[in-house]
């Protein structure tokens, strides 16, 4: 047989489209031609495969003309994942391996020069696609645990060397299907909210943000606990479901990151303020996920918010509304999920001590205005809760009493979310008509609220966000709809918005 076809898959964002490695041996001048839109790493597989076959004890058909086609031809191929299917295709086309043995098999893996298999990225999306196609997956042993996350209905065959794969296909030495020895568990629990002293208003805002999926801005002098509070948000969010955990793991898989340390936990990403727009939302000549996708189903924390480039902050506006990022290039188009909660922290001025009783502010009025003006009104409109975090008096810092633990707060958050999901969505994602129907304000409440909005000069988007926060406050109390006290508290979380806009 001089023609063989091996099934594998490419990596296109979080998708894994099928690729057929077609190998044809013909008479003519000896050589190896690789076609099918391969990038540099795929082209280099010719030399890796040649050495791996020889060092593993197989014959390389040096006297024949070898043509390798990666179909479909218009799909870009990248990475070392095609080494193993190319090697198996050459063996089958040269008669060293029966073509029938490759039926129903999909495989991926990079080959070392001595025939050993090395791990490749993006195996989890590959495994999920193979499971949907009801195939059997052969992967390097280092990728076996990740592939097994796809579920027990997928047969995962792990191998250390090319020889092991061929021995299995020849029915000489069968590979035992791989199963996870135990369900993945996070190695470290999230930080506990009980560690936070004082800051009752900020703790309340954190609970409201967790209950309704709202974005949160914390403003205050240095050392008042803004970062500490933000890092406690994942601990009071409901645990990830199995499907959500797979979504998070798939993004990490595409980025070449492991899943063992924080499986099932809400992601918490904290990029430095020097991060570029591409690092934050994703991009590059070959678009890759950014921090907002790595924070999918979790929290994106931007510390020192005004220190970020204004252009970088503005690119967040669309993902905050659509919960996904669409990256388009001349020859590439990718969609990545980006359903995250934004938590930001900032100082009130460049020196950080405006309004701080512990230290005198050294900034001029112009410096303060320029600093606060780095945040645009449209971005602030998308932040539901804006809370001041003041400096604590020494007696609160040294007090022995502790606040509620994360587990206690999480129970209230989960109960509130259960009420919201019964309406169809979290309050932060509730549409206009559904939001108005859920709030069901009386005529007197509408008249009062209209007067307040006019006085505070809040936008229409901010008005809807006030309603969403008020509805979350009602859900936390178990009320059927928000009342005037809920609206007053919700508007109180927009005071910082007004201060920053007037700066």
Which among 123, 105, 111, 126 is positioned nearest to 161, based on CA atoms?
Answer: 111
Last residue of a domain, one of 374, 391, 415: 415
Last residue of a domain, one of 415, 449, 466: 415
**Residue 418 CB contacts under 8 Å (≥ 6 apart), including other chains:** none
Question: 135 and 197 in one domain?
Answer: no
Neighbours of 181 (CB within 10 A): 7
| pLDDT, tens only, 394-416 | 766 666 677 789 999 999 999 99
Question: 248 and 150 in one domain?
Answer: no
The better pLDDT of the pair 438, 184 is held by 438
The better pLDDT of the pair 495, 324 is held by 324
**pLDDT of residue 93 exceeding 70:** yes
Distance CA 479, CA 481 (A): 6
Please check whether residue 139 lies inside any domain of the structure. yes
| pLDDT, tens only, 450-460 | 888 888 877 77
Helices (H), strands (E): how many in the chain?
A: 23, 18
Among 134-148, 159-173, 240-254, 317-331, the range scoring the smallest mean pLDDT is: 317-331
Question: 347 and 298 in one domain?
Answer: yes
Please check whether residue 377 lies inside any domain of the structure. yes
| pLDDT, tens only, 296-309 | 999 999 999 999 99
User: How high is the pLDDT of residue 399?
Assistant: 67
261 HSE (CA, 13 A, CB side): 6
Neighbours of 176 (CB within 10 A): 8
Tokens of 299: 């929290």
User: How high is the pLDDT of residue 426?
Assistant: 92
Strand 385-388 relative to strand 216-219: parallel, antiparallel, unpaired?
A: parallel
- Which sign, positive or negative, has the C-alpha torsion 27, 33, 34, 36? negative
Question: 347 and 311 in one domain?
Answer: yes
**pLDDT of residue 135 exceeding 90:** yes
**The residue to which tokens 């005071």 are assigned:** 495
Q: Are 148 and 179 in contact (CB under 8 A)?
A: yes
Question: 162 and 201 in one domain?
Answer: no
Q: Are 1 and 22 in contact (CB under 8 A)?
A: no
Quickly state the pLDDT bin for 393 (edges 50, 70, 90): confident
Distances (CA, A) of 490 to 3, 52, 171: 69, 65, 68
Report the domain count for the chain.
2
User: How high is the pLDDT of residue 503?
Assistant: 44
Quickly state the pLDDT bin for 194 (edges 50, 70, 90): confident
User: How high is the pLDDT of residue 264?
Assistant: 78
Please check whether residue 488 lies inside any domain of the structure. no
Please check whether residue 286 lies inside any domain of the structure. yes
Please check whether residue 265 lies inside any domain of the structure. yes
Please check whether residue 431 lies inside any domain of the structure. no
Question: 228 and 151 in one domain?
Answer: no
Please check whether residue 32 lies inside any domain of the structure. yes
Q: Are 428 and 216 in contact (CB under 8 A)?
A: no
Q: How many residues in the chain?
A: 503
- Which sign, positive or negative, has the C-alpha torsion 421, 427, 428, 434? positive
User: How high is the pLDDT of residue 330?
Assistant: 67
Q: Are 168 and 157 in contact (CB under 8 A)?
A: yes
**pLDDT of residue 294 exceeding 80:** yes
Last residue of a domain, one of 415, 433, 448: 415
Which among 460, 467, 501 is positioned nearest to 481, based on CA atoms?
Answer: 467
178 HSE (CA, 13 A, CB side): 22
CATH code of 60's domain: 3.30.230.10
**Residue 211 CB contacts under 8 Å (≥ 6 apart), including other chains:** 412, 413, 416, 417, 420, 472, 475, 476
Quickly state the pLDDT bin for 499 (edges 50, 70, 90): low
Among 43-47, 78-82, 323-327, 389-393, the range scoring the smallest mean pLDDT is: 389-393
Question: 144 and 247 in one domain?
Answer: no
**Cis before residue 192, ω within 30 degrees of 0?**
no
| pLDDT, tens only, 440-451 | 888 888 899 888
Question: 204 and 153 in one domain?
Answer: no
Indicate the average pLDDT of the chain. 89
Q: Are 5 and 46 in contact (CB under 8 A)?
A: no
Question: 20 and 119 in one domain?
Answer: yes
CATH code of 239's domain: 3.40.50.300
Quickly state the pLDDT bin for 61 (edges 50, 70, 90): very high
Domain containing 251 equals 193-415
Helices (H), 224-376: 226-231, 233-236, 242-254, 277-281, 291-294, 310-314, 317-322, 365-372
Question: 216 and 153 in one domain?
Answer: no
Q: Are 468 and 427 in contact (CB under 8 A)?
A: yes
Neighbours of 209 (CB within 10 A): 28
Question: 233 and 140 in one domain?
Answer: no
Question: 164 and 242 in one domain?
Answer: no
What does the pLDDT average to over 344-354? 88
Neighbours of 399 (CB within 10 A): 12
DSSP per residue over 369-432, as a string? HHHHTTS-HHHHHT--EEEE-PPPPHHHHS-------HHHHHHHHHHHHHHHHHHTS-GGG--H
Tokens of 28: 């003519």
**pLDDT of residue 356 exceeding 70:** yes
Please check whether residue 289 lies inside any domain of the structure. yes
Vertex 60: Cα angle to 58 and 63 (nearest 5): 145
Q: Are 185 and 263 in contact (CB under 8 A)?
A: yes
Distances (CA, A) of 271 to 34, 227, 298: 40, 13, 14
Tokens of 418: 């259960």
User: How high is the pLDDT of residue 502?
Assistant: 46
**Cross-strand pairs, 6:** 21
SS3 of residue 258 by DSSP: coil
Distance CA 382, CA 376 (A): 10
**The residue to which tokens 């299995």 are assigned:** 168
Distance CA 129, CA 150 (A): 9
Q: Are 159 and 175 in contact (CB under 8 A)?
A: yes
Among 55-59, 229-233, 439-443, the range scoring the smallest mean pLDDT is: 439-443
């Amino acid at each position: 047989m001089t023609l063989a076809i091996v099934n594998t898959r490419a990596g296109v964002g979080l998708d894994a489209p099928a690729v057929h490695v077609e190998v044809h041996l013909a008479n003519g001048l000896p050589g190896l031609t690789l076609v099918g839109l391969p990038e540099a790493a795929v082209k280099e597989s010719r030399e890796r495969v040649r050495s791996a076959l020889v060092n593993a004890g197989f014959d390389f058909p040096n006297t024949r003309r070898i043509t390798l086609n990666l179909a479909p031809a218009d799909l870009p191929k990248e990475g070392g994942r095609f080494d193993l299917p190319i090697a198996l295709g050459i063996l089958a086309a040269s008669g060293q391996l029966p073509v029938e043995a490759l039926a129903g098999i999909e495989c991926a893996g990079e080959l070392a020069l001595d025939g050993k298999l090395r791990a490749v990225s993006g195996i989890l999306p590959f495994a999920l696609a193979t499971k949907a196609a009801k195939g059997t997956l052969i992967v390097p042993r280092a990728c076996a645990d990740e592939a097994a996350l796809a579920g027990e209905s997928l047969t995962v065959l792990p191998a250390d060397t090319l020889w092991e794969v061929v021995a299995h296909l020849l029915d000489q030495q069968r590979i035992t299907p791989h199963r996870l020895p135990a369900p993945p568990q996070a190695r470290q629990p999230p930080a506990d909210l009980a560690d936070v002293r004082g800051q009752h208003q900020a703790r309340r805002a954190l609970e409201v943000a967790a209950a309704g999926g709202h974005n949160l801005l914390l403003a205050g002098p240095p050392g008042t606990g803004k970062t500490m509070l933000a890092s406690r948000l994942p601990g009071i969010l409901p645990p990830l479901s199995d499907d959500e955990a797979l979504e998070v793991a798939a993004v990490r898989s595409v980025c070449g990151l492991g899943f063992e340390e924080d499986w099932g936990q809400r992601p918490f990403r904290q990029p430095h303020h020097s991060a570029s727009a591409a690092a934050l939302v994703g991009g590059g000549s070959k678009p890759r996920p950014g921090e907002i996708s790595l924070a999918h189903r979790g929290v994106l924390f931007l510390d020192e918010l005004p220190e970020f480039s204004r252009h970088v902050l503005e690119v967040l506006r669309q993902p905050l509304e659509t919960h996904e990022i669409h990256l388009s290039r001349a020859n590439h188009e990718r969609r990545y999920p980006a359903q995250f909660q934004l938590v930001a922290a900032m100082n009130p001025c460049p020196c950080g001590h405006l309004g701080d009783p512990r230290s005198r502010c050294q900034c001029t009025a112009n410096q303060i205005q320029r600093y606060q003006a780095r945040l645009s009104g449209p971005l602030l409109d998308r932040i539901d809760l804006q809370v001041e975090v003041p400096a604590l008096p020494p007696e609160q810092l040294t007090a022995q009493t502790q606040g509620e633990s994360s587990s206690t707060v999480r129970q209230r958050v989960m109960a509130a979310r259960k009420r919201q999901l019964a309406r169809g969505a979290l309050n932060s994602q509730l549409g206009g008509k559904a939001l108005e129907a859920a709030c069901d304000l009386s005529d007197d409440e509408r008249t009062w609220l209209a007067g307040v909005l006019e006085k505070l000069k809040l936008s229409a988007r901010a008005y809807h966000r006030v309603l969403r926060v008020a509805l979350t406050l009602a859900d936390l109390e178990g009320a059927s709809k928000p009342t005037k006290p809920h609206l007053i508290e919700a508007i109180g979380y927009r005071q910082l918005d007004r201060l920053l806009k007037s700066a």
